[in-house]
Structure 1
Amino acid sequence: MKRLYRLLAAWSILFLAAFNVATAARAYDVIPVSDPETLGFSPSRLARLAAWQQTQVDAGAFSGAVAAIARNGKVAYLQAVGFRDRAKTIPLQSDAIFWIASMTKPVTSVAAMMLVEEGKLDLAAPVFRYLPEFKTTAVAVEIRDPATGKTDVAYEPQRHPMTVEDLLRHTAGLIHGVGKAKVDQLYVRHLYDKAGVFHRDRSLADVVSELARLPLAHQPGEVWDYGHSVDVLARVIEVASGQAFDQFLEARLFRPLGMTDTGFYVPEASQSRLVDPPADNWIGPPDSVLADVTRPTRLFSGGGGLASTAADYLRFCQMLLNGGELDGVRILSPATVRRMTTNALPPDIRFAGYAGGAVGPLAGSTWGLGFAVRSDPAWSAVPGSVGSFSWMGASGTWFWVDPAAQLVVVHMIHASGGSGPFKRMVRNLTYGALRVPDQGIPDPVAGASSIDADTLAGYAGTYRFASSSARDRQEYPEFGGLGIDVAIKDGVLKVVSPSRDMPAAKAGVLSGDVITHLDGETTRRMSLSEAIGKMRGPVNTTIRLKIARTGLDAPIELAIVRAVIRRTEGTDLQVAVNNGKLQVEDKGALPVLDFEKGAPIAVVPLSRDEFFVDGGDHTRLAFLHDEAGNVTSLVLNPGPLQITGRRIN
């Protein structure tokens, strides 16, 4: 009876999808509202996004960009800037089609969870239940000859078989093969070389069968490492559903959601809207195989094969924000969406590999079932409140969903190096465009207009803000540490870079060093969060490091005293006195509220310590003092949505 109910539920979903195809695009209107203020945005500050994009087009960072922003279920902004082609001769339109690369992964993850809800797929089941070829897949262990220092690969069985959930959360041990370790090179030789198998004329089944012949880089369930897990998941979906992956997505997701321009191939009639990739060698394997979406393919890569538009992907994200439903079509239950967008990783997980620094303790985020999820309330690579979720593509595409702000943002570019160099501006310009609810301007207190010159001079200085909006809170945490960025690469704890004039750099730590021990404890099995936790501690306390350095036979042992570490990334406001009036100008990379570069604004006093902008969005300012009366901070829009800048000079 339960199986019959599931079948009926599935038929009902298909019926609703077919019934709503004609109306879906009309119900969730991707045409922006005429007045974004009704959705809480300042039109003038929202316009800064296009202005910044144009500077990047002019600088050659990318040829064009499309941004889509929705709030409270309505589109506030959908605009294209720049050009569709590398030669910059064809203006870009907002319906441009981009290869979205790894933004395919969340789509594949949703498809898998649809089958989980229908009882056709078991998250806890071993992958070999659906793909028997993975039953005997070994795990590679890199071993080093202590006499020669040479490395080789040994093999051991899986201690626990990889599960379907491991595929969704990137803990299966499958990798991309972009590192220098021996196992990475096995992937490169077998999958991507000219004699390899990762090609568009090979089916998903062919490629996944070859993946099963390669060793896993980690024991399943023990390490988060970005890789081919979601390609394998797509093949699992084919087996569990009895449909080719492209057909499943088209019938069960794209048509029901009205995603008319999303697929593994851009038809010839639509290729006039397809955006050119950059001319240089901007991507590596396997992306170089998947980026050509101008011709049909047999390889329906669940990890990176789709092309889409900003409007289509906005519909997909809005469905998730709505708890799995859009335009009367239910794709997932609210409970399933919550499960996908909350932490799915065990507390002792280790982080390895790469992913643009977007996941792990250094990024202030974790991983759900298909998404990076903000977990740190003070600092995060994922924008928005705790619980916001996102992902990106190697091509430069990026999205995030902020449930607390009821916000969806999709940013489409094709850029060398992906979205990394541009994320900070996009997130800050978006949140910085949200208005603080109008509280009215209070009447000035008696004598406010005649503040003495010494008092005004005391406010002059530079104030640094970590963020342009309290809705995307970024703080300046202070802690005792070494001033060192580290990562787990090739299975070891490596120094990415020591910060200048910080304890590690002063002690002689260099980029590329391998930290083998912390206070006598081996780092070999430590997670990244454990290693960072050990390196941090009370200021003026000592930690002992043992380091292996290329070219040296013996390890280096250092005793380093922890110092105060402060994050310094942010934007600055310059406060000055001019003709007896206080004026404020943005001096950093980010505009903040009413303030911009090259446009100092005189502010009007409300009291001895409070001022406001007489125009724009009437930003209010309050200066804070320490016990000695020295000005220490500047608060903008005091209240629940205030942001605070600390004085730096």
Structure 2
Amino acid sequence: MKCLHRLLAALSILSLVTLGLATAACAYAVAPVSDPEAVGFSSSRLARIAAWQQSQINAGAFSGAVSAIARNGKIAYLRAVGFRDRAKTIPLQPDAIFWIASMTKPVTSVAAMMLVEEGKLDLAAPVHQYLPELKEMMVGVETTDPAGGPSKLALEPQKRPMTVEDLLRHTSGLVYPEGNTAVHKFYRDSGQYWPSYARDRTLKDLVSGLVRIPLAYQPGEVFEYGLSVEVLGRVVEVTSGQPLDQFLDSRLFKPLGMVDTAFWVPPEKLARLIDPPAGVPIRPDRDVTKPTTMFSASGGLVSTAGDYLRFCRMLLNGGELDGVRILSPATVRRMTTSALPPDIRFTSDTAVGPRGGSTFGLGFAIRTDATQSWVPGSVGSYTWNGRWGSYFWVDPAEQLIAIQLIQAGTENYDQFWTPFRNLTYGAFLIPDHGAPTAATAAIDQAALAAFEGTYRLGSPSSRDMQVPREFGGLGLDVAMEQGIVKVKSPIPGMPAAKAGIMAGDIITHLDDAATQGLSLGQAIEKMRGPVNTPVRLRIVRKGQDRPIELSLVRAQIRLQGAADLRVVSKDGQLLIEASGDLPLLDFEKGAATTVVPTSSNEFFVDGGDHTRLAFLRDGAGPMRLVLNPGPWQITGQRIN
């Protein structure tokens, strides 16, 4: 332990640490590598991560961040930015301890699968086989009055019992209190939910309280993120014969060398615990400075970037790390492959679902769509995140692990995940790519002026396709509840908000076609379309006697993460500057880069990573810009 702390103290004085993984006398020893380029990254582009995080710290989004990026078994990036305390007086160190919230869920899921491998737990078995008190849980069915009258909640028995697999894949019908259905309201009003999280309670107490609350859906029919993993943690306790903290510590944390991961922070480590976000009330279950018996299986753990990297490396290695086998390769593949039935319904289609090109396995969201995704990453990449902004993903195709730990007091955490992920993939080097050797060409000012304009590129990453960063739409965030399309929130300034559409409104028709029977993805596609085209909506609003008929005109919706380049010509030279949300390859925001011509329409950057550019036009179509033409190219077109 002393060896480990000496090592981490040495690391903390470095502004950018490039490390290789190796096992020695310490719990997890590390050895330097020469530079990130050795594992396929650009050092200068990796440094943009810290610059972006510092901008967020300056804006007050969070006080500090620790990030770790590993590839091919070596750490390419480990850096702490900002401060440990809200007053911004104590610099943050790489070994800082964070409450990782729902990044606990994958850990509990691994624990359950360890018991499956040992034959102590059956994925197909009813949960009541292990927790008999749940056998008679009923399902709440809400009936909504189409005329806008009060809804009613009826109870019906389960069509089939919830299974252990349902707990792992969030199809159990157990939900969180946040939501608009009568069952969600029941969670909030029953008095059974939050008191169960007191630090002197137990998982057994929590499960006993859930018995009094109906399931929101029939088991196996709907994916909704919720309390499933808390119940799974209790199943782990019953089948292992140990409290969850003891099982995790003896069977997972100690074997993997996760020396700082636990359900609370002991006094001798409190100096490394980052402060919670400013202005956020700290519920008792989130006060990790005190011992607890409430071992929240879905959100109770604290950890460090180094510890969680060990956990992810075990998964990426097929269940083994440094000679310690936790799971079989077959089990890891099963956990990171879609476990959802083909006819599953999604109540929200953002982090998991067809809109995001993803699905869910046994403990992880998984990218499945080869043509689109909210964020870059190979098909088969798996991920999860936590309240206050903790986030990780594993990309097996790239042999990549990335972790960002922050504590942000907002519900809009993806504003921090998306840039981190884009900047990570945007730092990949182009294989076998160097400066052109051809002689430079002379191009007159008139020819250069033909290339001027702003070019929109879908992503700063060359690794894959993503969801278009802009499209025609209404500016609505919607969810599917009990087969009904319900408005979660309108985007300020967009057509829906301007028309007075409100959270809680029910959209019953789109262009005279009923939304009943549509999937959430189908309803969203009907709301999208070319900019400046109309769409008719029929809306039911609580308290209104009659439906509301509206005609809206689709506007341009622009998502976070667009990568734009501005091209200008001056004094016989072409200058290029990043003008979107993020920098791109050799191009920064606020600093124009001069490119060198090699032909009448091709250029390169004489320095940095030697980005190559080609301007192309197909007939009368818009001018296109191709960066690094070839298998890793990024393509965009001129928008003005």
- Tell me the TM-score normalised to structure 2 length: 0.89
Instruction: Indicate whether 1:442 and 2:433 are aligned.
Output: no
Q: Secondary structure at the match of 2:582?
A: coil
1:124-167 CA-partner distances (Å, limit 9, x unpaired): 11100000011100011123467881223211101111111110
1:55-81 CA-partner distances (Å, limit 9, x unpaired): 222221111110000000110111111
One-letter code aligned to 1:128: H
1:19-46 CA-partner distances (Å, limit 9, x unpaired): xxx9577596456533111011111111
CA gap 1:267/1:541 in 2 versus in 1, 3 angstroms: closer
Which of 352, 364, 369 matches 1:371?
364
The answer for the alignment partner of 1:644 in structure 2 is 635
1:594-617 CA-partner distances (Å, limit 9, x unpaired): 111121111111111110000111
One-letter code aligned to 2:272: R
One-letter code aligned to 1:404: A
The answer for the alignment partner of 1:632 in structure 2 is 623
The answer for the alignment partner of 1:51 in structure 2 is 51
Is the Cα contact below 8 Å between 1:190 and 1:197 reproduced in 2?
Answer: no
Q: Secondary structure at the match of 1:425?
A: helix
Map 1:126-205 to 2 at 5 A. 126-144=126-144, 149-191=149-191, 196-205=195-204
The answer for the alignment partner of 1:234 in structure 2 is 233
One-letter code aligned to 1:379: Q
The answer for the alignment partner of 2:480 in structure 1 is 488
User: Take 1:420 and 1:53, find their aligned partners in 2: how far apart are those partners?
Assistant: 14
Instruction: Indicate whether 1:333 and 2:328 are aligned.
Output: yes
The answer for the alignment partner of 2:424 in structure 1 is 430
The answer for the alignment partner of 2:80 in structure 1 is 80
One-letter code aligned to 1:205: K
The answer for the alignment partner of 1:119 in structure 2 is 119
Is the Cα contact below 8 Å between 1:324 and 1:330 reproduced in 2?
Answer: yes
User: Take 1:189 and 1:504, find their aligned partners in 2: how far apart are those partners?
Assistant: 31
Is the Cα contact below 8 Å between 1:365 and 1:381 reproduced in 2?
Answer: no
User: Take 1:84 and 1:410, find their aligned partners in 2: how far apart are those partners?
Assistant: 18
Deviation of the 1:488 alpha carbon? 2.1
The answer for the alignment partner of 2:16 in structure 1 is none
Which of 582, 586, 591 matches 2:583?
591
Which of 561, 572, 581 matches 2:564?
572
Q: Which runs of 5+ in 1 are unaligned?
A: 1-21
Is the Cα contact below 8 Å between 2:374 and 2:467 reproduced in 1?
Answer: no
Instruction: Indicate whether 1:317 and 2:283 are aligned.
Output: no
1:391-413 CA-partner distances (Å, limit 9, x unpaired): 11102110011111111001000
Is the Cα contact below 8 Å between 2:305 and 2:405 reproduced in 1?
Answer: yes
Deviates more, 1:510-519 or 1:153-162: 510-519
1:348-391 CA-partner distances (Å, limit 9, x unpaired): 2111259xx31122322211111111123333235411111111
Instruction: Indicate whether 1:348 and 2:343 are aligned.
Output: yes
User: Take 1:631 and 1:540, find their aligned partners in 2: how far apart are those partners?
Assistant: 20
Is the Cα contact below 8 Å between 2:452 and 2:567 reproduced in 1?
Answer: yes
1:162-201 CA-partner distances (Å, limit 9, x unpaired): 111110111101011112433223212345678x332111
Deviates more, 1:33-42 or 1:492-501: 492-501
User: Take 2:25 and 2:591, find their aligned partners in 1: how far apart are those partners?
Assistant: 42
User: Take 1:585 and 1:232, find their aligned partners in 2: how far apart are those partners?
Assistant: 52
Is the Cα contact below 8 Å between 1:170 and 1:224 reproduced in 2?
Answer: yes
User: Take 1:600 and 1:145, find their aligned partners in 2: how far apart are those partners?
Assistant: 59
User: Take 2:192 and 2:32, find their aligned partners in 1: how far apart are those partners?
Assistant: 43
Deviates more, 1:199-208 or 1:181-190: 181-190
CA gap 1:501/1:208 in 2 versus in 1, 3 angstroms: closer
Deviation of the 1:478 alpha carbon? 8.7
1:410-430 CA-partner distances (Å, limit 9, x unpaired): 100001115322112111211
The answer for the alignment partner of 2:213 in structure 1 is 214
RMSD over aligned CA atoms reads 3.0
- Tell me the TM-score normalised to structure 1 length: 0.88
User: Take 2:505 and 2:623, find their aligned partners in 1: how far apart are those partners?
Assistant: 39
Instruction: Indicate whether 1:621 and 2:613 are aligned.
Output: yes
One-letter code aligned to 2:137: T
The answer for the alignment partner of 1:604 in structure 2 is 596
User: Take 2:629 and 2:541, find their aligned partners in 1: how far apart are those partners?
Assistant: 51
Q: Which runs of 5+ in 2 are unaligned?
A: 1-21
The answer for the alignment partner of 2:539 in structure 1 is 547
Which of 406, 409, 434 matches 2:402?
409
Deviation of the 1:565 alpha carbon? 8.2
Deviation of the 1:563 alpha carbon? 9.5
CA gap 1:262/1:136 in 2 versus in 1, 3 angstroms: same
User: Take 1:452 and 1:118, find their aligned partners in 2: how far apart are those partners?
Assistant: 73
Is the Cα contact below 8 Å between 1:177 and 1:185 reproduced in 2?
Answer: yes
| Percentage of pairs with the same residue | 64
Instruction: Indicate whether 1:380 and 2:373 are aligned.
Output: yes
Which of 444, 447, 462 matches 2:454?
462
Is the Cα contact below 8 Å between 1:634 and 1:645 reproduced in 2?
Answer: yes
The answer for the alignment partner of 1:293 in structure 2 is 288
User: Take 1:291 and 1:274, find their aligned partners in 2: how far apart are those partners?
Assistant: 13
User: Take 2:553 and 2:415, find their aligned partners in 1: how far apart are those partners?
Assistant: 33
User: Take 2:559 and 2:148, find their aligned partners in 1: how far apart are those partners?
Assistant: 42
Deviation of the 1:508 alpha carbon? 7.8
User: Take 1:596 and 1:416, find their aligned partners in 2: how far apart are those partners?
Assistant: 29
Q: Secondary structure at the match of 1:603?
A: strand
1:499-527 CA-partner distances (Å, limit 9, x unpaired): 79988789886664311245766545543
Deviates more, 1:436-445 or 1:516-525: 516-525
Map 1:55-66 to 2 at 5 A. 55-66=55-66
Deviation of the 1:50 alpha carbon? 1.2
CA gap 1:147/1:498 in 2 versus in 1, 3 angstroms: closer
Residue-pair matches, total: 618
Q: Secondary structure at the match of 2:614?
A: strand
Deviation of the 1:498 alpha carbon? 6.2
CA gap 1:491/1:31 in 2 versus in 1, 3 angstroms: farther
One-letter code aligned to 1:292: D
